[in-house]
Structure 1
Amino acid sequence: MQTLKKGMSAEMIYKLLLMGHLVGDFYVQSDKMAAKKKKDKRVLRKHCIYYMLSLLFLCSVVITKEEVLPFVLLVFGMGVIHEIIDSAKIRIENKTKHRHDIFLLLVDQCLHIAILFGGCFLLGLKGGEYANLFGKRLDFSFISRETSVLLGILICAEPASLLVKMVLNKLSEETERLHREASNLIIAEYNPQTGSVIGILEREIIFILGIIGQFGTIGFVLAAKSLARYKQLEDQQFAEKYIVGTLLSSFLAIICAVIIKNYFFS
């Protein structure tokens, strides 16, 4: 039983580190800050401080007294490395004129997560047997699944939304100039912010349905979304972007649900 709890605590700290990374890199950082940090190093440093605070806040509930110093070193080191990686990414984006933004985003995220997990492993951080939250001791066996679901929800919201948006922007770069006049009405009627919210809700619903094993119900969600855009689907450019966006969005949510359910549920 002791070994099982130790294993759960070690798994929990990796989940919380990933959640801290997602919160710090996608939720605490606004679109305005993401744009400004590319031109102002002070804004980039501010983002890195927020990133470190996110890691500290989310992981402090499982860190033991003996692990406080190694954990603080990990967080500080990740803040410094985060700034270095983001600075390099910004320079490469400027040199390549944003032609490889999607690839750079994926590499950027893989590097952050790999270094974060690698540092945690090398420092031997495993956490305690219980989570200490608001003066209460929570056994990991009771909150492991809930933490996994919350992790999936975080992934399906802002990170997935950014990826889908970047893919659609990349696809429309060439066709936008050719169809701008014909698509003026569609573009004027379409609110990108509303579309982003709809996409997030769509992914979250699909993710939850996937977690509970109701994959057949996903078709009704997609059908309802298509009905709302029925008239706009007559425009070829909009229809192509809509299909790609919907399929990619659904794919990300389903993959996330399958991975969380099969590999993270304890």
Structure 2
Amino acid sequence: MSDFSTLFISFLLIHTLCDFYLQPKHWIEEKKEKKHRSPKLYLHSILHGVALLIPALALKIDWMNIAIIILIVTITHFAIDLWKVSTTKGDAFSRFAIDQILHVIVLITTVFYITDSIAITELLQHDQLPEAIMTTFAYLLILKPTSVAISCILSKYPISGGEKESVNGLVAGGELIGYLERILILTFTLVGSYAAIGFVLAAKSIFRFGELNKSNDRSMAEYVLIGSLVSVVITTLIGVFVTIGLNLDIS
């Protein structure tokens, strides 16, 4: 029997191919328009299940388990995609993220079911589990908690009048930029690629502060500069502490 990681990565590869490369745009539009009456929704779901035959046979999974895998993946993929095209709650990205997370959970569950070489207790006792938990915690920490911390710091430097309205629009749009920036900085810190961090900061400075300079508004520029530097400092410190905790070389 194949091990968990090999089987899961193989299934995830098939999912990626079927969901993003083998699904034409007009299929997606038809699913949104016709929902459960769309033939493409059924065809897409069946494709996901049948395509798993490739890794299942290559890894010598027995036919009983193959039949179970195809049935589970086909039915759950249909249900999840139907929910996605039918719901109007949340924005498009939230629905997309939930959709993909649910699909991955199904794949993980099926792999756990058919593999007998790994158990949950073995995962909990894995040597790299503490490192994985610490790294995951670091990424969670640099997102929403760091944004809240930056907002609290910036609240000490209020901007009044029309200037504040301009900054609000900039900060709202900059929240996603901040998330992406902190993810990149933390990742580069953990792998020791400090030159890449400098490139990220330089690129952001060119595009972000170049626009601010056009307004000739010094207070706005200082407001955004404070937020950016606080974001960088917090993320870098978290990255350094995690690196030390993981006993990695930070020299």
Q: When the two structures are superposed, what TM-score results if normalisation uses the length of structure 2?
A: 0.46
Which structure is richer in relative contact order (CA contacts within 8 A, separation 6 or more)? 1
Q: When the two structures are superposed, what TM-score results if normalisation uses the length of structure 1?
A: 0.44
Question: Which has the higher Rg, Structure 1 or Structure 2?
Answer: 2
